[in-house]
Amino acid sequence: MAVDSIMTTYNRLSVAFDHGEGSWLYDTDGNKYLDALSGIAVCGLGHAHPAVTQAICEQAAKVIHTSNLYTIPLQQQLADKLTQISGMDNVFFGNSGAEANEAAIKLARRYGNTVRKVENPAIIVMENSFHGRTMATLSATGNRAVQAGFEPLVSGFVRAPFDDINAIRTIAENNPNIVAVMVEPIQGESGIQIPADDYLNQLREVCDQNEWLLILDEVQTGNARSGKYFAYQHNGIMPDVVTTAKGLGNGMPIGACLARGKAASVLGAGTHGSTYGGNPLSCAAALAVVNTIESEQLCERATELGNKIVAGFRERLEHADYVKEVRNKGMLIAIELSEAGTELAVLAKVKGILLNVTGGGKVIRLLPPLTMTDDEAELLVNTLSAIIKVYAADERSPESEAADPGNERRSS
């Protein structure tokens, strides 16, 4: 494949997909793959969901884009829907997770400068976090590999260990410049790292005591993936700012930064913008997604199916000492290995399963469509368990054949 005209910012697997349906993707040779990644937590409704397809086609035939210089009724409808679901007050729309987080970072800076009147406002961010690839969001990200070579980084971020509330309290005592904490409720890119049950509640308390904004990055955890529309809804708390993107458009680029209370009035007219953000086409798609999450009860389904998948893996991989832990919150699923197993993404692809290995190569990350059927989930558990067992038994020869995993992959 001629790839030289594309910058090599990605290491890609050598497969190209022609079309998809539900939990399945079909490559250009007609082979089918069970998609346990959903384009990295994006296609939560699966591929070619009729409600989304219809919304996009109908809207594309009417008007795609008008700009934010005019009223956009679909954007208003989507904002009404999202604020009603989340309990937040208002929304700024962009086109990606990084842009949603940029809006949140700008909001926190402006809150610091104009409301708190702090001289050099700073935001607490976590080790091993991921917030995006723009200059501000990569500076907020807790991964040197993402930052290396892009110095000077954006200043005004103070790093803290994740899931360590005492570290946050210590910073509160020592740093009067802090105006916000920005955190993923569950760290996604670093391998589905789930904090203590009451971590967000304690963060909320510390933020209240210090007049800090609590900013939750739900780019990956939002839109029903964790088993609630937003992951903070498991904790019964409210953030001041929450961002989301990945699952919101089912593949149509859209990001949202929602704000509440004192945070909702910080960004006034002329302070921030986006030409495309919340245009009629992306909002039509996102409205179809949000309505489908409700009508198909996908929050409940994510909890039920995620727990079922994890029970299946635990049963089959119980005695595999290569597997350190299987964990999940809804359909954010991790199989943590005791050693790096990056090749497993390639081996699984050969066997017709799409997944991703993250967290330093040690975590198999599964983000299947929330619409996956029980039979597909069983196929995923059986096939992947067999692949992992063979890999664990004979790590040094990745070419070795997995026992018949019972997959249905074939040419058509």
Ligand X SMILES: *Cc1c(COP(=O)(O)O)cnc(C)c1O
The binding site for ligand X (CB under 6 A) comprises: 96-98, 101, 130-132, 184, 188-189, 217, 219-220, 245-246
Cβ-contact 182, 135 below 8 angstroms: no
Nearest to 317 by CA among 329, 342, 335, 333: 335
171/216 with CB nearer ligand X: 216
Amino acid at 326: V
In the complex, least distance from residue 211 CB atom to ligand X, rounded to whole angstroms = 25
24/229 with CB nearer ligand X: 229
C-alpha to C-alpha distance for 38 and 32, rounded to whole angstroms: 14
In the complex, least distance from residue 247 CB atom to ligand X, rounded to whole angstroms = 10
6/393 with CB nearer ligand X: 6
In the complex, least distance from residue 160 CB atom to ligand X, rounded to whole angstroms = 17
Token pair recorded at residue 383: 């096939």
131/362 with CB nearer ligand X: 131
In the complex, least distance from residue 118 CB atom to ligand X, rounded to whole angstroms = 25
228/246 with CB nearer ligand X: 246
Nearest-CB residue for ligand X: 97
The DSSP bridge partners found for residue 130 are none
C-alpha to C-alpha distance for 181 and 178, rounded to whole angstroms: 8
In the complex, least distance from residue 46 CB atom to ligand X, rounded to whole angstroms = 19
24/199 with CB nearer ligand X: 199
| DSSP per-residue codes, 44-88 | TT-BT-HHHHHHHHHHHHH-S---TTS--HHHHHHHHHHHHHH--
35/184 with CB nearer ligand X: 184
In the complex, least distance from residue 114 CB atom to ligand X, rounded to whole angstroms = 26
Torsion angle of alpha carbons 51, 53, 59, 60, nearest 10°?
180
In the complex, least distance from residue 136 CB atom to ligand X, rounded to whole angstroms = 12
Cβ-contact 288, 51 below 8 angstroms: yes
In the complex, least distance from residue 184 CB atom to ligand X, rounded to whole angstroms = 5
Burial label for 158, CB within 10 Å (0-12, 13-18, 19+), is middle
CA of 71: how far to CAs of 63, 67, 74, 107, 252, in Å? 13, 9, 9, 23, 21
For residue 381, the surrounding DSSP H or E stretch is helix 374-393
For residue 136, the surrounding DSSP H or E stretch is helix 135-140
Size (the chain), residues? 412
44/405 with CB nearer ligand X: 44
